[in-house]
Structure 1
Amino acid sequence: MRILVFILFVFGCQIVNAQQVHHEMISSQGGTTTTANGHLVRYTVGQQSVTGTSSNGYVVQQGFQQSNWAKILEQNTISIATTVYPNPFVNEINFSFSTSPGDKISAYVFDVLGRLVYSEDIKNENNLIKLNLLNLSTAEYLVKLSSDKFVHSAKIIKK
């Protein structure tokens, strides 16, 4: 009987270890809907990491990891073409603008969980700003640039 219990225990541990997922899964298919009661429901298909969270705002996120970037993204108040290069980058990434978005631009970098990992206020010089992100780990990030009249969000990848 002890041998059977031991075999089941070892087999069970292997199953638990088999559930580890790759840490770089970022996107999936899914959507967001609002119920008749006004509750926000987010659903995904295809993500590999299981999690469940909720907040005081009655947003239920159950089953699979939800994108936290949706609450960070905003719309531009004016139209300015923004070019991001190089992307992927090694240490430094550049943002060039078709017209001036203002003298001072605030840059915020978020990880895939929506956590702020870097922020800086940068002086706009000749419609170009550079971010030195040497201290960030190799991963995918969301960068949000904003000034008094401009907001831009972009996905960046650090090699």
Structure 2
Amino acid sequence: MVKFDNVKVYKSRGNSETISIGGNANDDIRYQNPSSSTPSCKILSVVKDGTGNFSTEKQASANIDWTDPSAVSVITDSLSIDKDTIYIATKISSSWSSSVDANSDISSYSYALGSTPGNDDIITWTNNNKKKYVSVSTSILNVGQQYFFSVKATNGEGLESTSTISDGFMYIDPNLITNIETTNNAYQLSVYPNPFTDNINVSYKLNVNANVYLKLMDVTGRIIYSSSPQNQNTGIHSLEINAATNLAPGIYLLEMNIGGESNVYRLMKE
């Protein structure tokens, strides 16, 4: 009885050979890298001359990864806590969590900035190497415009994850936010402080008897506070809105309806 150990079977080929890769039973290579440091397999090759003599064996490791890396799970519009409003137009920042790729690891991250979610019309897709944060000097932000960061990862084989999009931030020029003082034929209105941190004080003087109510909304129109309509006499009236305590920083809208006529005023929460 003859026993053999470590038997190798070679497939005949020409000067080049196409090797099929995939999870099907008839593919030549059917496994991905078990880790980024361990190749999927080794490809061995020998050459036979005209008299039947074989050359020494040559081999090369094959790194195989056909799976996209995971998408970034968390992205913030700052270097730490997520911000919905920024007040400096010359610097924007974002940071994000790690992507994962078990087969070939993460080779780089890319980011973009758009005026709509997922767009890159402000900053086109930019390679950020392996850094999971970016701070960019810019002069292209418009007051009141919302902007969105997008981030995607690339693995060692060049495959990209789906992009993850931030919830957006808005640039507000603090010089344009002041206490509201306005007068028309029906009333005089004062709203302060603006910007506010907790309570909002609304004071108004009616020049005529009128039905009055007001609403505090976010920029999407979601009502945060509303007063019941009241028929009020001429004179001075005041109201304190304390629903602002738990609001996130950003822009809010105060709608004042007096005698069926509505006016909307912009407030900022610091």
| TM-score computed with the length of structure 1 as normaliser | 0.50
| TM-score computed with the length of structure 2 as normaliser | 0.33
Larger Cα-atom Rg: 2
Higher percent of residues as helix:
1
Higher relative contact order (CA 8 A, sep 6+): 1
